[in-house]
Structure formats: C-alpha cells, structure tokens
Amino acid sequence: MGQNNSLWLWRVLTVGTAVMTLFASPSSSAQSNQSLKGKTLVIASWGGVWTELSKKYFGDPFSADTGVKVTYIESGNGFAPQSIAQEQSGNVQWDILDGAGSDAYVLESKGYLEHFPRSLIDAIKPLVRSDQLTTTFTLDYGDTATLIACNPAIMKKCPTNPKEFWDVENFPGPRAILNNAETAMMFALQADGIPPAKVFPMDIDRAIKKLQQIKPHVRVWPASGAQQQQVMIDAEVGVSLMWNGRAWTVKKQNLPDLQMNWDGATVGAGGLAVLKNAPNKDVAFAYIKWFAEHPDKQAGWTSEITYPTPTTKLLDLVLADVAAALPAAHKPLKEDTAWIVAHKTETQKAWQQFLTGR
C-alpha cells in the first residue's frame, strides 16, 4: 500500500487542521482532549458481548477522559453493505467501524475508508505490535477465530474437526453454521478433504456442493455473534461453528462443559477503520490514538472475550489461561483477505443462492 508524499499530504489535509494539531506531540494530549469536549463519535460495532465490552473498556473511559459523547450502533452481520450505502447516498452516519475485518479491505478498494494521518501512525506505531499495523487504513484488533463449539449435554458425541462436523451419522445432533459465506466455505472444503494450506484459492462450487450435504441438518444460520451465543444457551443446537470469543463467553457464563475444538479453525482480522466521509473524523482518529495509549484497557477487553488487542504489552498483562485461549496459540487457518476481496461478489451470489434455494 505504498503511499507517495503528495498523497499523504492530501490525505492529511482532507481531515483538516483539527487532526493536524491533535497529534502534534505526546505532550499535547491534555490540550487535545480538552478540544474534543462536547463533540460526538458514532461507532458501528458487532453487538452483544463485543459491543458491551468495547463500551466498558474503550467507549466509556474515552468519553470520561475527553468529554466526547460516544454512541454505539450494532451493525449486525458485517459492515460493508451499510457503509457502502451510506457513502453512496452522501449520508454517512458512522465514524468508526469496530472490528471491520475483511470488510475494511472491501471498503478501501472502493475508496470508502480514510487513511490514517502520518502523525497518527507515528504516534501509535511504537505502542502496537508490528503485525497489527500493516496498512494505513486499519489498526488490527479482535482477530476472530471460528471453531467448533459443542455442548455434550445435547450431543451424544461431539465432533472435533470439520470432517466430523459434517458426519451427521456418527455425530448426530442439531447444528448451527454462522451466516458468513467465506468462513462456511473454508470449513466445507476442509470437510471435503482439502488440507488447510490448500483451501485458498477456494473452489466455490465444491464448497457449495459440500454445504448442500449438511444443509438439512443445520437448524440455525446465526447472523450475529449474539445469536451464535443464544442458540447454544437455549439448547436450540448442540454443536455450532462459533467465533471463539462468543464460545468462551458462553462457557464462562452459561455452559461450563462446552467444548471448544480448534482443529480446522479459521481466523480473520478485526480492526478499527474510519469511513471516508465520516462526520467526526478528527474525533475518530483521537479515539484510535487513545485506544493505542491504554494497554491496560486492551488487556481487560481481551481477558473477558479472548480476542487479541494490539498492545505490545498484551501477554504481560493477561493471565496464562487467557493467553492460551487466544487464536494465535492454536495457529488456525488464516483467511486470504486479498482473495476474499477479489471474489466477494462471486462468493456472496453463490451463498445467497445456497441459502434461499434460488
């Protein structure tokens, strides 16, 4: 994503002089915070425990420090469609995307994300791990794995990998698969015998054919993390492809015997991103800087949901059991973001036809 000097200057100037002064120097933090008082920030987030914890550890403390009014909007199943609609209508209502993942790359490819000012990157770069700041338009956090979560109170025998998840004869019981085309296809291809290292580039037709085999046995296709949790808590299903943090929360709060099986698990990036025509860009960038400057808040968030945060101090601040539950400890199959963005239209069309039968 190499940016030449003139492009960087243009990016910064579009944000305005408020952003220029905001990151002038570390010593200006108190003055900058004072200048934010009375402003607003709208954060689009995943909902459920993700948003509850983001508000607890980030939104509320940021508001207390700066006087900014922070509002969270639950985006539901993904950010891209709603963000694109807002940008194209000229009525952008969101400032920050909270955990945008591959949607950030889709939006950036369309010119709908703001690139971080150079001053912001310089300010946060020493505070975060190098692999968490690999673009000029996102700060990674909350990288989410999808794994097989199983309630042994409902299932006679818990599947522990994709092939067993598809084996309804030897592992009978009601299932759920999250409503995400790429993740479902990644599991389907592994269930069909493709090694993780060979999943990308994905054979969409082969993945859909494999998904057709299990479709009659899938009771729910959860469209959000909150729904993933609820169908397990309500015993509507006995085994599900779930985000690891949602499974961890259910295990801690509701089902202590819940099994979390990492064999065949996949992982995709999270990330904070700012919409191109966000009405409060200066506040959004101030929030990202504040976020990076508070490793204790990041560690608290991670400790409750087992999604990683970018601080260089993370492993020093979380307990050993939390560190062991992070996706990086299990080396799941990583999404090929470039492939996903390039084939988004194709995968979405195949997925919708699969779900609706049309």
pLDDT tens across 163-221, in order? Answer: 999 999 999 999 999 999 999 999 999 999 999 999 999 999 999 999 999 999 999 99
Mean pLDDT (10-residue bins), the chain, 358 residues = 41 42 47 82 94 97 98 86 95 96 92 97 98 95 96 97 98 97 97 98 98 98 93 98 96 97 95 97 98 98 96 97 94 94 95 92
Task: Give pLDDT, residue 75.
Answer: 85
Burial class (CB in 10 A: 0-12, 13-18, 19+), 285: buried
Predicted pLDDT at 15: 43
Read off φ and ψ for residue 155, nearest 5 degrees: -90, 130
Number of Cβ within 10 Å of residue 107's Cβ equals 24
Give Dmax over CA atoms of the chain in angstroms. Answer: 65
The architecture that CATH gives domain 5-142+270-325 is: 3-Layer(aba) Sandwich (3.40)
Identify the pLDDT of residue 29.
55
The arrangement of strands across the sheet holding 239-243 comes to: 218-220, 175-177, 239-243, 144-150, 259-268, 333-334
pTM: 0.83
CA 87 to CA 119: how far, in whole Å?
26
- Cα distance from N-terminal residue to C-terminal residue, the chain: 39
pLDDT score of 32 = 60
Spelled out in words, what is the top-level CATH class assigned to the domain 145-268+331-356?
A: alpha beta
The predicted structure's pLDDT at residue 27? 44
On the question of a common fold for 5-142+270-325 and 145-268+331-356, the answer reads: yes
- Cα 135 to Cα 3, 53, 100, 108, 271: the distances in Å are 10, 25, 13, 11, 11
Q: What angle do CA 35, 39, 41 make, to 5 degrees?
A: 125
Q: What tens digit of pLDDT does each residue of 3-22 get?
A: 444 433 344 344 444 444 44
Domain boundaries defined on the chain: 5-142+270-325, 145-268+331-356
Residue 38 has a pLDDT of 95
Neighbours of 104 (CB within 10 A): 28
Nearest in space to 43 (alpha carbons), one of 19, 60, 30: 60
